[in-house]
Structure 1
């Protein structure tokens, strides 16, 4: 019995010790308050970082902060920084513990001892030249928060709010033409506009999650740091001060006098020692707003970005994008997008697969991946600079976000219904196409005479038709291919085909297509198989003739235009099985190529008459089957059918664009 009791006691002791170890490894909370050393007033928006800013947060309006410290960083160093103040640094105290009181001392506003040699533009050129030394020259990955919102200013109501965790894959800064990729890890959204939609008119923001690429002015070499555009800008040295405790040049830029080509105006912060761009804030000029050609009457379009040091290079830290103006529906809107980096990874990892990548033309509000509010509790953020007063972790904004999400009253995994019309529109794809038709045409002399009974109209002509083995056809976006996807694999389509060249005519296909993805884990390559009902007219024009008979009717159709064109054509009707391939270029765009085999069951020769004058929407035309009363067609001086006919092969290449 004593042996059993002793064993039970030892087991309980081991369990207790292990539990204590677990408790010891759990994150402890560091709390503190940051005040001005002279005035003893609280300092909001100060940057609080631990372990070289691997984790961090910002102070609230009372100067207070709270940060969970993982056990791995318990021996790290605490830093507090804010523009205009001297950095504070100390070893982390034992945790948990009482609230720290941290006093920041103001640094002089200007460093007048620093001498600037050369022109201010020379400083900017020097900073551009040092980009390969200061920024990553190989691919890097950022992870961070993203939020975008639309607010109706007149009503004071949000229309839309989206939040996400993004993986941002940055291309090397030596490759300014290559932005990189975006992966939306988790997201949630409230779209009151979609829920209350009453018309087809809608406004949406494209590429919001791409702001870490689009507004990275260093990587993209935006106009105000681009050699080709320097001639449009005037640069001035506004100040010599510090930024995050680093001496910087503060340089303002804007259009030269009477220059209408400069799109931007603002200021940038350049490190005095390394010539690295540390931050910039700018807005579009009135000319810059006009140059965007947006369907949005913008009053303001402003941007801010700052960078942080990691592993000897500067990386994007935070991005802020703000626009105000009148939308398509008349009301004044405020759109705000923000991104904040929470982690940086410089290791070389495989690029994300195609299906993971967000596309530039994806509308973020249609992203189906969702998360619940507990998601935000799993991350802490690096702090925005002093200029970003509307930070992602701001308590008021976060509370508003939670209220909007809670107001949905629907499970997080189920999106609100869009209605039947929008459901159908979301399944619709359309686009132009071109193709080749096999044509068996022999050269021949054809004479035509058409004089309807009891009519003054007369068409007489003689032509020599060419020999041909092929005809080209095409269709455009508005009069071309339309496809409705019933499922991801099965769809129905309607296509109009127009033959062009020496021979001309209209055709049509109505059919069904089944697609199978041979490459499901990468860029989709679709195998396509289908069958269609097929009609095609191929004709040869005999010219345009004056019509003196205002009461002319042909098989019940009134043709009273001043001019009427006449052609001889061959009509073919049948079935067409098809095989093909499709390659998805983006989530919305697919290039398809199909080969069909025509199986005709009926052909006939026709006379085609069409009005050529008057308003084109009201012009009549008619196809008259041959032989017909009043019509004589001679081929090489003998009655015969039109000396051309369609062959069996039909090749088509087209584009299918998903409308929503």
Structure 2
């Protein structure tokens, strides 16, 4: 068991590893399933700030009384697919710092659906209450209450995963997949498993010059950001002394009051973590975490992320950011969304200009159920070291995802998809 954990830590200490084209990629055979043919209805909309009209990213759109959900993209846009016979659904829209809205399904049956969200207002009295006490003790309570606050049963989850790699501002690689997660209880020592149900990927190798970044880990990169399931990758209870914690201004999600705690790693000699924790004031549940890795120590940061590289090339991460959101159902919380953004600088010896690569990965849970998971003998799970292989054919089918909910592509990704489709038609 110890050897297994150590291996996992080496892979996921910072969640990501990169390997260059010269390295042999690890591949996995995907489980491909056709749409079951069930009729469904689809709705689209956009979530914005009611005052500034700016888009709200990562807003959670949920069908009340069910576990069907999706999130808004960077442009605030979303799509939501429901069974055709669901007529009287109530849709809940929530986002950090905003009042929750609930709308009848009929509202979404019009064109150009806009959902304007009002910002939450914190009273001074609430701020005074929040800033009392020791922030480290609050985080300790958060960790101790994992068993009570989070799902304590096995769960079967459907999730949408997207992975993009850009060189400069150009999309050079796009991977998308519908996955099935076998999620273990939060206090279980068992690791979660992932199977790919449907996937497509395209890489423009002509724009990669000599070197191409390949991302190892696939959906595991966003799954391991679940710090309440995998606290060893950030801070477990016995590691809290390695960090400093202090209160920041509180906030809300709907009517739920949240403590906000800033944290920083004390040891700054090696790459170190810092960020914010959003903790429910009543149950001490971690509702959201956003954190980054300081990479000023370029040599150590390079070792953390780079698996293999050609001679004469220096590679180091320049920007590393993570986000994890949790959702609540019947008083229990579970992993709902994970996102990671990294930027890498590639310097060739004897070349004047360097190359910059941006790697983005995100996964959203779109449906789930508590289940005693019995894994069939023929079940094929992907491995944490997977490199997703090219499969461009899926881009030719405009209804490729069928009834599956996805993260709506933002404008840059949609442009990339249209270019891929045009190339296939040529």
Question: TM-score, normalized by length of structure 2?
Answer: 0.74
Q: Distance in 2 between matches of 1:351 and 1:357?
A: 10
Partner of 1:567: none
Return the offset for 1:33: 6.8
Kept after mapping to 1: 8 A contact 2:69/2:365: no
In structure 1, distance between residues paired with 2:94 and 2:277: 19
Structure 2 CA distance, aligned partners of 1:28 and 1:370?
Answer: 21
Which piece of structure 1 moves more, 268-277 or 401-410? 401-410
Equivalent-residue separation in structure 2 for 1:59 and 1:397 (angstroms): 15
Q: Deviations over 1:183-217 (max 9, x none)?
A: 11111111222x78887x65421112212432111
| Other-structure match for 1:170 | 183
| CA spacing shift, 1:245–1:239, aligned 2, 3 Å | same
Tell me which residue corresponds to 1:342. 366
> 1:279/1:402 Cα in 2 relative to 1: closer, same or farther (>3 Å)?
same
Offset, 1:246:
1.5
SS in 1 for 2:120: coil
Equivalent of 2:152 in 134, 137, 140 = 137
- 2:389 maps to 1:365: yes
* Matching of residue 179 in structure 1 with residue 194 in structure 2: no
Cα distance in 1, alignment partners of residues 209 and 118 from structure 2: 57
1:216 pairs with 211, 215, 226, which one? 226
Q: Is the 8 A contact 1:144 1:342 kept in 2?
A: yes
Q: Quick check: 1:282 aligned with 2:291?
A: yes
Question: Structure 1 pair 222/242, CA: closer, same or farther in 2 (3 Å)?
Answer: farther
Deviation, 1:335, is 1.0
Partner residue in 2 for 1:237: 247
What CA distance in whole angstroms lies between the structure 1 residues aligned with 2:80 and 2:305? 45
Q: Give me the whole-angstrom Cα distance separating, in 2, the residues matched to 1:216 and 1:172.
A: 12
Q: Does 1:294 align with 2:319?
A: no
Is the Cα contact below 8 Å between 1:171 and 1:178 reproduced in 2?
A: yes
Offset, 1:334: 0.8
Aligned residue number for residue 16 of structure 2: none
Q: Among 319, 322, 325, which residue is 1:303 paired with?
A: 322
Inter-partner Cα distance in structure 1 for 2:113 and 2:292: 39
> Of the candidates 258, 273, 290, which is equivalent to residue 264 of structure 1?
273
Give yes or no for the alignment of 1:228 onto 2:238.
yes
Q: CA deviation at 1:61?
A: 8.6
Structure 1 alignment gaps of length 5 or more: 1-24, 382-391, 412-660
Q: Secondary structure at the match of 1:146?
A: strand
TM-score, with length taken from structure 1: 0.50
**Aligned match of 1:421:** none
Deviation string, structure 1 residues 320-354 (Cα, Å, up to 9, x no partner): 11111124765211111111111112111312546
Which residue of structure 1 aligns with residue 400 of structure 2? 375
- Aligned partners of 2:128 and 2:415: how far apart in 1? 47
Shift of 1:378: 2.6
User: Which aligned pairs between 1:438-587 and structure 2 lie closer than 5 A?
Assistant: none
**Using a 3 Å threshold, how does the CA distance of structure 1 residues 394 and 146 change in structure 2: closer, same or farther?**
same
Q: 1:303 to 1:112 in 2, by over 3 A?
A: same
Please report how far the alpha carbon of residue 28 of structure 1 lies from its aligned counterpart in structure 2 after TM superposition: 5.3
CA offsets per residue over residues 89-126 of structure 1, 9 Å max, x none? 24444885687776543321453253555310000000
CA contact (8 A) 1:43 1:59 kept: no
* CA distance 1:99–1:334, shift in 2 (3 Å): closer
Distance 1:191 1:33 in 2: 29
Asked if residue 192 in structure 1 is aligned to residue 207 in structure 2, the reply is no
Aligned CA distance change for structure 1 residues 253 and 33 (closer, same or farther; 3 Å): closer
Aligned partners of 2:70 and 2:366 also within 8 Å: no
Aligned equivalents of 1:320, 1:60: Cα separation in 2: 12
Q: Which residue of 2 aligns with 1:512?
A: none
Per-residue deviation, 1:62? 8.7
| Alpha-carbon distance between aligned partners in 1 of 2:140 and 2:74, rounded to the nearest angstrom | 39
CA contact (8 A) 1:281 1:303 kept: yes
Q: Which has the higher strand share?
A: 1
- Structure 1 residue 133: Cα displacement: 0.8
**Larger CA deviation: 57-66 vs 314-323:** 57-66
Change (3 A) 1:311 1:211: farther
Contact in 2 for aligned 1:306/1:319 (Cα 8 Å):
yes
* Contact 1:241–1:248 (Cα < 8 Å) also in 2: yes
Distance across 2 between alignment mates of 1:217 and 1:236? 19
- After superposition, give the CA deviation of every residue in 1:217-261 in whole Å (9 maximum; x if it has no partner): 1111145431332222110111222134411111111123x6436
Does the aligned pair in 2 maintain the 1:211–1:339 contact within 8 Å? no
Distance (whole Å) between structure 2 residues aligned to residue 40 and residue 368 of structure 1:
39
Q: Is 1:331 matched with 2:331?
A: no
Tell me how far apart the structure 1 counterparts of residues 381 and 343 of structure 2 sit (CA, whole Å).
29
Higher relative contact order (CA 8 A, sep 6+): 2
Aligned residues: 370
Counterparts in 2 of 1:217 and 1:54: CA distance versus 1, 3 Å: same
1:315 maps to what in 2? 334
Q: Distance in 2 between matches of 1:102 and 1:159?
A: 33
Note the C-alpha offset of 1:149: 1.6
Selected match of 1:148 from 157, 163, 180: 163
Indicate whether 1:399 and 2:414 are aligned.
Answer: yes
Aligned-residue Cα RMSD (Å) equals 3.5
Specify every segment of 5 or more residues in structure 2 that has no aligned partner in the other structure, as ranges: 1-37, 308-314, 349-353
